[in-house]
């Protein structure tokens, strides 16, 4: 017991030390976990042979991750991805198997073993890539979606891979011994729990299809009943128990029929994507997923056999880099064929160039089926582990390339030639900019739209909105769009510094132009105000005011009273922001600006007093004169900070 607790303390302590340091230096959590494993395993020797056993439990983190991803994908969305799954994913797997198997043949490996090597190394790391894409907010980019499609196809491909490997056996079965070495097995194998052993091919097919159908039916009909019973019991911990039991049960069922537990969990997640208990499941399983994935990465680092590595470092490192180079070239070609642009192409290429965690599974299975000899298996395990260890560095390289592309490097597409001018220029056409553009154009005014996201521009054009690709911060593009003659310049770009610099440039070139700028947060408001923006709109302020207004209505205020309180809060907030902007000091944290803090405290007290006075006045007026009723559909005042009072025609 004491030894187990000591091991747990070592693993958790390594996480707490290495991961924050890795994140602090911008290396990401995955590399931190891997380095922590290297430190407590091969370097310090604090953990030993139990790492391999622990890794089998930690692999359940991959199952949980795919279940949670499935929750975010409705069946229709999965069907819409079919072309990417079959096109990108299928092509990547087949091409990688062909090229890597050919490379193994060149090294003198027998054809069946070479094919097994190609199958093993063709798969990438779902755990590392999806974790990193999610952390860096890249999963919704074109490159991120392409990478996800390939990873999902690879997870599905594990099933036929496990079926094919036994057919490639060249000798008697072998297996790993307790000390980590590889030894031959006797002809008789240990019996394993399986629902398909000994069945004919048609029987295996029926049982497999039945298991998949059981997962779908249980997710569709049984799980809602179970969660309703748990909800009525009002015991919070039962939600966690039920969520874990559901996913573990699916994993066990998939293993019994010879399928990938990760694939089964993903399928169950897709089935439950529209469930009313979706968010409960996510909240309950997310902590377990993060902990188990971190533990999995640590065991990968701790399991690296440095003795074999140092015995022939040039060969193993060379093979690892060669693997990543070959897969990278294949991925880059597929990205070009899929017409990915610039940063997305590099994200897709560098993100998937490694071998994956399923490589450990396939190597171990291949050893047990006499597909891999002892030396080949040990080298394959090292190649898989080292390539996973190098993957976070690939993402760092991607960030460097992405920064160069954003600065107008050679790999960035040429900006459009702007052949149109208008009195209104909109820089940035994301969700915020699209709403502004639609409203302005629907009101009869012409706009010129600029954005640096080529995919967004193409989508806009499909909907019939004329727009131009190019970096809005480039002066020559702004002048070509008519900045020197425009009346209004709307700035909706994502980068905070970019928005501030655009305001400064526009006001320096045209002091008379009206600049409307989106602010991401309160500090950004002050920066834009100092730069000279005329109207500053906080991106979530309007929606929060509307939500507050609905709360007041639900608490008993009339529509008119709630609208008046909303308007009063807006006016006081705008006045307060102007005053606070005058005492805000760039580069000085708000908590260290005594004048700002004191003024904020006074304004908070004054705001509450003014709001209560406003409500009392409305109650008094309601006794003598009933105001015209308002409905929920009435549009309240716009939020933001303006330098000028309201002018005729709706300008501020």
CB atoms within 10 A of CB 301: 26
Does some domain include residue 418? no
Cβ proximity of 332 and 349 under 8 Å: yes
Does some domain include residue 416? no
The answer on 470 and 388 residing in a single domain is no
Determine the pLDDT at residue 409.
47
Domain holding 627: CATH number? 3.40.50.720
The answer on 468 and 345 residing in a single domain is no
- Between residues 428 and 135, the one the model is more confident about: 428
Mean pLDDT of 280-308: 78
Strand order in the sheet with 535-538: 468-469, 447-451, 424-427, 488-491, 514-519, 535-538, 641-642
Which of 373, 406, 439 marks a domain boundary?
Answer: 406
The answer on 435 and 292 residing in a single domain is no
Question: How many helices (H) and strands (E) in the chain?
Answer: 28, 9
Determine the pLDDT at residue 179.
45
CA distance between the termini of the chain: 71
The answer on 433 and 399 residing in a single domain is no
Question: Poorest-confidence range of 330-334, 425-429, 587-591?
Answer: 587-591
The answer on 502 and 400 residing in a single domain is no
Does some domain include residue 590? yes
Scanning 123-171, the segments in alpha helix (DSSP H) are 126-135, 142-164
The answer on 435 and 390 residing in a single domain is no
The answer on 176 and 313 residing in a single domain is yes
Determine the pLDDT at residue 410.
44
The answer on 137 and 84 residing in a single domain is yes
> 579-603 b/e with 16+ CB inside 10 Å = b?
ebbeebeeeeeeeebeebeebeeeb
Closest residue by Cα to residue 313 from 391, 388, 383: 383
Give every CB contact of residue 24 below 8 A, 6+ residues apart in sequence. none
- 3-class DSSP state of 489: strand
- Rounded Cα–Cα distance for residues 3 and 467 (Å): 65
Domains: count for the chain: 2
Does some domain include residue 415? no
Determine the pLDDT at residue 328.
92
* DSSP code at position 423: S
The answer on 256 and 310 residing in a single domain is yes
pLDDT for residue 253 is more than 60: yes
pLDDT for residue 567 is more than 70: yes
Tens-place pLDDT, residues 310-325: 888 899 999 999 999 9
Does some domain include residue 377? yes
Does some domain include residue 127? yes
Question: Poorest-confidence range of 157-166, 345-354, 618-627, 629-638?
Answer: 629-638
Tell me what the pLDDT averaged over the chain comes to. Answer: 78
Closest residue by Cα to residue 518 from 505, 535, 501: 535
The answer on 307 and 428 residing in a single domain is no
Residue 190: which region, alpha, beta or left (left: phi > 0; alpha: psi -120 to 50)? beta
Which of 357, 379, 406 marks a domain boundary?
Answer: 406
Determine the pLDDT at residue 630.
42
CB atoms within 10 A of CB 380: 23
User: Which domain does 614 fall in, by range?
Assistant: 424-650
pLDDT for residue 194 is more than 80: no
- Between residues 418 and 649, the one the model is more confident about: 418
193 burial type by CB count under 10 A (0-12 exposed, 13-18 middle, 19+ buried): exposed
Mean pLDDT of 496-509: 88
Give every CB contact of residue 293 below 8 A, 6+ residues apart in sequence. 58, 61, 62, 64, 65, 127, 131
Quickly list DSSP for 270-319: HHTTT-TTHHHHHHHHHHHHHHHHHHHHHHHHHT--HHHHHHSHHHHHHH
Taking the CA atoms of the chain, what radius of gyration do you get in angstroms?
A: 30
Determine the pLDDT at residue 92.
92
The answer on 601 and 483 residing in a single domain is yes
Does some domain include residue 413? no
Closest residue by Cα to residue 430 from 407, 456, 449: 456
419 burial type by CB count under 10 A (0-12 exposed, 13-18 middle, 19+ buried): exposed
Cβ proximity of 285 and 68 under 8 Å: yes
Does some domain include residue 439? yes
Which of 380, 406, 432 marks a domain boundary?
Answer: 406
Tens-place pLDDT, residues 509-556: 899 999 999 888 888 888 888 888 998 888 778 788 888 888 888 888
- 3-class DSSP state of 363: helix
Q: 644-651: which pairs have CB atoms within 8 A and are 24 or more residues apart?
A: 644/534, 651/514
- Rounded Cα–Cα distance for residues 522 and 581 (Å): 10
Closest residue by Cα to residue 323 from 352, 303, 295, 357: 352
Cβ proximity of 374 and 180 under 8 Å: no
Closest residue by Cα to residue 42 from 303, 249, 285: 303
The answer on 381 and 460 residing in a single domain is no
Domain holding 27: CATH number? 1.20.1530.20
Cβ proximity of 518 and 539 under 8 Å: yes
Determine the pLDDT at residue 546.
83
């Amino acid at each position: 017991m004491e030894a187990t607790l000591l091991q747990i303390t070592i693993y958790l302590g390594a996480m707490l030390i290495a991961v924050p340091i890795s994140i602090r230096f911008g290396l990401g959590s995955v590399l931190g976990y891997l380095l922590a494993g290297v430190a407590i395993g091969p370097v310090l020797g604090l953990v030993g042979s139990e790492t391999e056993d622990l890794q089998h439990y930690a692999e359940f983190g991959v199952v949980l991750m795919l279940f949670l991803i499935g929750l975010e994908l409705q069946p229709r969305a999965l069907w819409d991805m079919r072309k990417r799954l079959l096109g990108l994913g299928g092509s990547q797997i087949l091409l990688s198997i062909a090229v890597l198997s050919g490379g193994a043949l060149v090294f003198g490996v027998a054809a069946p073993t070479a094919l097994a090597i190609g199958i093993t190394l063709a798969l990438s790391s779902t755990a590392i890539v999806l974790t990193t894409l999610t952390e860096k907010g890249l999963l919704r980019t074109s490159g991120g979606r392409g990478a996800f499609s390939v990873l999902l196809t690879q997870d599905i491909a594990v099933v036929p891979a496990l079926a094919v490997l036994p057919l490639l056996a060249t000798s008697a079965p072998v297996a790993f011994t307790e000390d980590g070495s590889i030894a031959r097995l006797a002809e008789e194998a240990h019996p394993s729990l399986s629902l398909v052993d000994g069945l004919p091919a048609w029987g295996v097919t029926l049982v497999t299809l039945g298991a998949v159908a059981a997962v779908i039916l249980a997710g569709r009909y049984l799980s809602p009943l179970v969660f309703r019973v748990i909800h009525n019991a009002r015991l919070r911990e039962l939600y966690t128990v039920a969520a874990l039991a559901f996913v573990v049960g699916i994993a066990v069922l998939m293993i019994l029929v010879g399928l990938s537990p990760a694939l089964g969990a993903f399928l169950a997640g897709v089935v439950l994507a529209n469930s009313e208990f979706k968010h409960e499941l996510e909240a309950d399983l997310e902590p377990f997923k993060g902990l188990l994935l971190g533990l999995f990465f640590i065991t990968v680092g701790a399991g690296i056999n440095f003795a074999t590595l140092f015995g022939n470092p040039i060969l193993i490192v060379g093979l690892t880099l060669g693997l990543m180079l070959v897969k990278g070239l294949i991925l880059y070609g597929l990205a070009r064929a899929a017409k990915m642009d610039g940063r997305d192409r590099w994200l897709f290429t560098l993100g998937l160039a490694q071998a994956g965690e399923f490589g450990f599974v396939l190597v171990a299975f291949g050893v047990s089926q006499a597909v891999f000899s002892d030396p080949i298996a040990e080298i394959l395990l090292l190649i898989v582990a080292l390539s996973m260890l190098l993957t976070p560095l690939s993402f760092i390289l991607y960030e460097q390339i992405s920064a160069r592309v954003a600065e107008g490097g050679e790999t960035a597409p040429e900006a459009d030639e702007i052949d149109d001018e208008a009195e209104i220029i909109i820089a940035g056409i994301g969700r915020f900019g699209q709403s502004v553009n639609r409203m302005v154009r629907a009101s009869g005014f012409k706009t010129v739209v600029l954005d640096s996201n080529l995919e967004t521009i193409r989508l806009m054009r499909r909907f019939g909105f004329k727009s131009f690709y190019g970096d809005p911060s480039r002066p020559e593009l702004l002048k070509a769009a008519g900045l020197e003659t425009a009346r209004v310049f709307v700035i909706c770009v994502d980068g905070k510094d970019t928005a501030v610099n655009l305001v400064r440039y526009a006001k320096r070139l045209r002091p008379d132009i009206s600049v409307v700028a989106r602010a991401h947060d309160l500090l950004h408001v002050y920066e834009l105000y100092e730069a000279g923006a005329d109207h500053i709109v906080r991106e979530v302020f309007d929606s929060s005011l509307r939500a507050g207004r609905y709360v007041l209505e639900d608490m008993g205020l009339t529509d008119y009273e709630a609208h008046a309180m909303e308007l009063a809060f807006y006016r006081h907030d705008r006045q307060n922001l102007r005053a606070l902007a005058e005492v805000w000091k760039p580069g000085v944290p708000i908590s260290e600006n005594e004048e700002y803090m004191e003024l904020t405290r006074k304004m908070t007290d004054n705001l509450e007093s003014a709001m209560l006075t406003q409500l009392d006045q409305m109650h008094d007026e309601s006794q003598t004169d009933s105001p015209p009723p308002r409905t929920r559909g009435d549009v309240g005042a716009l939020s933001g900070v303006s330098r000028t009072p309201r002018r005729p025609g709706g300008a501020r």
